[in-house]
Structures are given as structure tokens and as C-alpha cells.
Amino acid sequence: MPVTSTTGVLGGRFRADVTAWGDVVPWDGSPALAWHVAADDRWHSPATEPAVGPATVAPAVAIAIDPVCGMEVAISPASLQLDLGGERHYFCGEGCRDRFAAEHAPDAAVR
């Protein structure tokens, strides 16, 4: 976050950093001013309670396109697949996999 500079009540300069949690950390070594959120009839501290803090994003799932029907297929060890010419193809179902194998290589390694 950008560093902010404001004028204090007594006319002095106040300089501080703001953390990702919204806490204000003064440059002069004074204690940090923690940010709290009121909800559910009590105060929450985003820095110590993950449910109040920034949302986490789930890791992306690798996706392949079924070459027969064009459907998106999640790549995993359990996915239907076929190795052909050094390339691995993923399928939505046995019908698409079998059709592709029959059209492209009857001796392909079907898994």
C-alpha cells in the first residue's frame, strides 16, 4: 500500500504504513493501530481471524478440451485419457474416447 502523510491534531506530521490487513504502523515506532471489524455482536481482527481477512483463491484446475465433443475436462489421474503419437488426449466419457481411438489409431494406449 502507498505510504500516507497527514497533519495531526497538534499540527505535527504523522507518517505511517498501512498493512494488508489495514493496520496503521507509525514510522516513529509507536504501537500499531490495529484494524477491527464489528460483526456478529463482537469485534473481529482481520489479522488474526482468517474468516474476516482477505479471501483466498482456490488453486486453478488444469483443463483439457475433449477432441471429439469439445467439452472441458478436468485433468486428473482419474480422467479418461489416450496416448497417441507422444501426446495425451483427455475425454469426457468412454464414448468420446473410443470414437477418437477408432478414428485415429486402433492400437492407441487407452486408459
Q: List, in order, residues 6 or more apart from 79 with CB less than 8 Å away.
A: 64, 73, 90, 91
- Please, are residues 88 and 82 in contact by the beta-carbon 8 Å criterion? yes
Give the model's confidence band at 31: pLDDT under 50 very low, under 70 low, under 90 confident, else very high.
confident
Q: List, in order, residues 6 or more apart from 66 with CB less than 8 Å away.
A: 72, 73, 90, 91, 92, 96
Q: Alpha-carbon dihedral of residues 110, 75, 97, 104, nearest 10 degrees?
A: -80
pLDDT per residue as tens digits for the range 32-69: 777 666 666 666 666 666 555 455 666 778 999 999 99
Task: Please report the sign of the dihedral spanned by the C-alpha atoms of residue 14, residue 32, residue 38, residue 19.
Answer: positive
Does the pTM surpass 0.95? The reply is: no
